[in-house]
Amino acid sequence: MDRTLIQEILEVVEQAAIASAKLTGLGQKDEADAAAVEAMRTRMGAIQMKGRIVIGEGERDEAPMLYIGEEVGSGTGPGVDFAVDPCEGTNLCANNQDGSMAVLAASDRGGLFNAPDFYMKKLAAPPSAKGKVDIRKSATENIAILSQCLGLAASELVIVVMDRARHKDLIAEIRATGARVKPISDGDVQAAIACGFAGSGTHCLMGIGAAPEGVISAAAMRALGGHFQGQLVYDPAVAQTSEWADYTVEGNIARLNEMGITDIDKVYEAEELASGENVVFAGSGITDGLLFHGVKFEKDCTRTSSLIISTLDNTARFTNTVHIKDGAKSIALR
C-alpha cells in the first residue's frame, strides 16, 4: 500500500454511500445493501491494485455481495486486503435513522484478521485509556478506570451499548455505577471509532456485536491510537440471536478450529486484528451519525461527509465532498 491509494479508497466509500442513500427511508434494506455493494465493487475495479476481499458479506455463492476471496482492482499494482461493509446498518438506512455508513478497512496482504461469521465481545475506549481498561474486567472496573483516565466522574461518562436482550445485565451494571448508557439499534463501527475522538459525546463501547465489524473498528482504533479489544463469542446462549437458533457450542467450536482458530477464548488487541504495517480505515455517512453527516441530495450537487484514518501518514481526515451534477448552475457554499 502507498499514499496514492488513500484518495481512491475514500472515493470507494463515497460512491457506496451515495448509491445506498438513494434508497434511504424506503424500507428496502436488501436493495440498499446491494446498491452499495455494486457501487463499491465498480469503483474498486478502477484502482491500480491487486485487491482481495478478506472480510465480506458471505461466500462466493451469495453474490452479488462482495464475497470472501473475491479479487478486486485492475490486477496490477500493490497487493491490498480489504474488510468491507458497504452498508453498515442496513436497517438504519431503510428506516432513515442515524448511524448508517459505507465502511472499509484496508491493509497490506495478510494484515487483517480473517474474522469468521461469528459474534465478538468488544471494548473500545479513548487513547488515554489504552492498555488500562481490559475486556476481561467487569464493566464496573472499566468505568472506574475510564473515570480516572479521563478525569471525569462516572456520571459524566457515556457508554454505548447495542440495544439487545443479551445486554440487559450489562446495561444494568453500567447504570449502577452512575454512568449513562447510549443504546444503539445497529451500526457499532461508528460508535466504536467515536470513542477515539474527544468531544464526540461518547467515551466507551461495550458489548457483543458482529466479528467482521470488530476488525474494521480495530483498524480505525489502531490508526488513532485508541483502545480496542475483541473476543470471539461461540456460545449461542451468550449471543442470544435467532440466527444461531440451530447452532451448538460444539458445532461453533468445530467451525473455529477448521478456520485455524484453536485458542477460542483469546482476547485480541487492535494490533492483532489489524496487524499490517500499513492500515487504512475509510467511512462515509449514509445517514447522519456521531462522526459525520449523511448524504445530502441537492438540485445541482450531492454532498458526502467522510472520514479516512491512515497509519501511512498518521492522519485522520474529515472530508466534505461536493459531487457536482452535469449542467449545474448554482452550488451553495454549505
pTM of the model: 0.93
Contact by Cβ (8 Å): 119, 209: yes
Range of the domain at 157: 119-273
Based on the fold, state whether residues 131 and 232 are members of the same structural domain.
yes
pLDDT tens-digit profile of 301-322? 999 999 999 999 899 999 999 9
pLDDT tens-digit profile of 67-96? 888 999 999 999 999 999 999 999 999 999
Based on the fold, state whether residues 69 and 129 are members of the same structural domain.
no
Is 100 among the domain residues?
A: yes
pLDDT tens-digit profile of 95-119? 999 999 999 999 999 999 988 789 9
Based on the fold, state whether residues 10 and 153 are members of the same structural domain.
no
Contact by Cβ (8 Å): 327, 334: no
Q: How confident is the model at residue 32 (pLDDT cuts 50, 70, 90)?
A: very high
Q: How confident is the model at residue 62 (pLDDT cuts 50, 70, 90)?
A: low
Based on the fold, state whether residues 79 and 147 are members of the same structural domain.
no
The total of structural domains in the chain comes to 2
pLDDT at 316: 95
* pLDDT for residue 58 is more than 70: no
pLDDT at 63: 47
Q: Residue 325: how many CA atoms within 13 Å on its side-chain side? A: 13
Residues 6 or more apart whose CB falls under 8 angstroms from that of 243 comprise: none
The three cell numbers locating residue 125: 475506549
Is 77 among the domain residues?
A: yes
Based on the fold, state whether residues 58 and 102 are members of the same structural domain.
yes
Is 334 among the domain residues?
A: no
257/17 Cα distance (integer angstroms): 36
Is 329 among the domain residues?
A: no
Based on the fold, state whether residues 68 and 129 are members of the same structural domain.
no
Contact by Cβ (8 Å): 232, 249: no
Q: How confident is the model at residue 16 (pLDDT cuts 50, 70, 90)?
A: very high
pLDDT exceeding 90 applies to what percent of the chain?
Answer: 89
For the chain, the residue count is 334
Based on the fold, state whether residues 248 and 102 are members of the same structural domain.
no
Q: What is the CATH number of the domain that holds 24?
A: 3.30.540.10
Is 262 among the domain residues?
A: yes
Is 333 among the domain residues?
A: no
The three cell numbers locating residue 280: 487504512
Q: What is the mean pLDDT of residues 191-201?
A: 94
* pLDDT for residue 213 is more than 60: yes
Is 232 among the domain residues?
A: yes
Q: Residue 286: how many CA atoms within 13 Å on its side-chain side? A: 36
Strand ranges of the sheet holding 204-210, from the earlier edge strand across to the other edge: 180-184, 158-162, 204-210, 119-125, 227-233, 267-269
The one-letter code for the residue type at 259 is: M
Q: What is the CATH number of the domain that holds 164?
A: 3.40.190.90
25/304 Cα distance (integer angstroms): 17
Based on the fold, state whether residues 285 and 259 are members of the same structural domain.
no
